[in-house]
Structure 1
Amino acid sequence: MVSLLIKILVNDYNNTGDDRVRRGYGVVCGTVGILLNIVLCCVKVFAGMLSGSIAIITDAVNNLTDAGSSIVNVVGFKMAGRKPDTEHPFGHGRIEYVSGLIISIIIIVLGVELGKTSIARIIDPRDIITSKTVFTVMLISIGVKIYMYLYNKKIGNRISSVSLQAAAVDSFTDAIATTAVLISVVIFEFTGVVVDGWCGLIVSVFIIYSGISSVKTTVDPLLGVKPDPEYVNIIEKFVLSQNNILGMHDLVIHNYGPGRSMISLHVEVPANGSLVEMHDIVDNIERKLKEALNCECVIHMDPMVIDNSISMRMRDYVGVIVTNVDPSLRINDFRMVQGTTHTNLIFDLVIPHDFQYSDEEVVDIIQQRVRQLPGDLYAVINVEKPYT
């Protein structure tokens, strides 16, 4: 049903890289979620009042809250689609992450509240009234929630939406919760044993765990995470394939929401090349990256000496020293400055975040080994951390 609605209501629905299309997907999914959850809430309230089961009524309230979560989703997609303005020059795309976080928190709160209700029912168990109507309502509810889980997960993955993925987790936990309620009703029907509270408590723990996992998924892009290696590889291959580009480093990818990225990087160009020509090459790279990846790009040029055999030999020596310390270390932006009394070898040293030695220890080791090379050589090292 959702796929059909998307085809009817969303123009150019296959172009999921377009912000307008993504927004259309999100609004359709959210609106369907609102309607289905309201219907489920109404029929469960009826079934809960008919049976006297607090678990069923709690499940109904859960669905009403889910409708609220879907409203948050729709509002999030609408706001995320707003154009950049004076106060938000990078757009409003991260609102989608915030809406996903809100849904995740709601999941946790519901789990805690369900746990409280379940403990109260364990302490004070009460008989419930079973009927075919109650069984039918619960079975239909489980089926609807599984359907909501499937379409939210499918579309969430298709458009890379953390808020829809969070909604999928929410729907799945709801299906599990309703299943547990149904099991407790079945057990009471055939044995007379009231396990309503225990089933609810087990489900509440599962819901809280799912909510915490969902929080991590939505918080990570807000904090900033390591970019997709495949995305990085595409950028590196393209940049290094251009004429007069000798190397590339310091790639930083800023994510301002799905489909909204800003890239900055350094390229090494021949120091003896024409500044105008090198600038033109860099401008072309920026423009082509923007066209291919739909991102803003800023490139800094690092001149690299390629016609001085001494400088190139010193770079090779330093490269060997650094690799011998640890293969995970690398150097960038190397230059040699010769003075009357000594020579400075200046370079950036990239040290992994979880390296076994401190930055100071690594710098000290490399500086000592450079001092052992012939000539009065000093290593001037600027420590950097990788962003990819």
Structure 2
Amino acid sequence: GYTNGVLSVVADGFHSLLDGSSNIIALIGIRMASQPPDEDHPYGHQKFEILSAMAISLLLFLAAWHIVSDSLVRWSESGNLDPHPIGYVILLATIMVNAVVYRWQRYQGHQLKSPLLLADSDHTLSDMVGTMGALVALFAIRNGWPIVDLIVALVIGLFIARVGYKIALQSAGVLADRAPIAPARIVEIARLFEGVRDVHDVRSRGFGSGVFVDMNLHVDPSMTVDEAHRIAHEVEEKIREELPEIHDMVIHVEPEGTH
């Protein structure tokens, strides 16, 4: 891209470089997040995965800023562009490789319920779309439309920024402990059991397969401790059966009429 002065190819190459960096960040994040809970981190280390996703979004914003600013600087410049034929081959090969990587990341992300892998797959998709745009720009330049190069570079930059914003928004929600499960769904399941008089203060946090839930369960005041414990255990089993993403639950049992 720099050799031929084709800005869209420079933008795509810069994006590909960041794509490799994000893959390294993702691997480090997954490794740190997979560590078991310890005394200092009783809820585990999963949020390292989210911090890694935030780092990826930052890289995307930096790439977008670099590409868009370069495009605006070059907007008033002119010159004869003559892209080398090898550029077409490289871009086509890049598209095919990214397509395979994207499908694998997307599949594994859904299988493992990993927001980091899904974020990285979005990054790979944006890279693939950017490469397609760069390929279109090369054809346009060869046919006497150099302005298309600048337009494509701008579009690539804005598309990358959009992906970065999406990843940052999703990651911020997890870091802020946005509820991953609607309380009404848990209340609905708990109320199926005879003896459950009320359910309140249902809270959930976490993501993927590491969701933590706590709730208050009101039962008949005349129940024995054993009976109340049995109902709470049955409620927990049913909720975890219906919502397998729950990693741990805490149910506080109270007699009806108390808070």
- Is TM > 0.5 for Structure 1 vs Structure 2? yes
1:76 Cα shift?
A: 0.7
Q: Quick check: which has more Rg, 1 or 2?
A: 1
**Alpha-carbon contact 2:98-2:128 (below 8 Å) kept:** yes
Partner residue, 1:268:
218
Distance 1:244 1:198, change over 3 A: closer
**Alpha-carbon contact 2:193-2:235 (below 8 Å) kept:** no
- Give the TM-score of the pair, scaled to structure 2: 0.85
Distance 1:253 1:128, change over 3 A: same
Q: Distance in 2 between matches of 1:299 and 1:228?
A: 16
Partner residue, 2:139:
186
**Alpha-carbon contact 1:252-1:264 (below 8 Å) kept:** yes
Q: Aligned pairs, how many?
A: 256
Distance 1:194 1:264, change over 3 A: closer
SS of the aligned residue for 1:196 comes to helix
- Give the TM-score of the pair, scaled to structure 1: 0.59
Distance 1:74 1:208, change over 3 A: same
Partner residue, 1:144:
97
**Alpha-carbon contact 1:290-1:297 (below 8 Å) kept:** no
1:89 Cα shift?
A: 0.9
**Alpha-carbon contact 2:216-2:254 (below 8 Å) kept:** yes
1:111 Cα shift?
A: 0.7
Q: Percent identity?
A: 20
**Alpha-carbon contact 1:122-1:198 (below 8 Å) kept:** no
Q: Aligned pair 1:155/2:108, yes or no?
A: yes
Q: Distance in 2 between matches of 1:263 and 1:161?
A: 19
Q: Distance in 2 between matches of 1:76 and 1:166?
A: 12
Gaps of 5+ in 1: 1-47, 305-333, 336-347, 349-388
**Alpha-carbon contact 1:270-1:303 (below 8 Å) kept:** yes
1:272 Cα shift?
A: 2.2
Alignment equivalent of 1:300, drawn from 238, 243, 252:
252
What are the Cα deviations for residues 251-303 of structure 1, in whole angstroms up to 9, with x where unaligned? Answer: 11132x432232211112111222x2344325634773697445322222232
Partner residue, 1:207:
160
Gaps of 5+ in 2: none
Distance 1:147 1:121, change over 3 A: farther
Q: Distance in 2 between matches of 1:152 and 1:126?
A: 40
Q: Distance in 2 between matches of 1:201 and 1:74?
A: 30
**Alpha-carbon contact 1:59-1:177 (below 8 Å) kept:** yes
**Alpha-carbon contact 1:290-1:296 (below 8 Å) kept:** no
Q: Distance in 1 between matches of 2:146 and 2:33?
A: 50
Alignment equivalent of 2:55, drawn from 96, 99, 102:
102
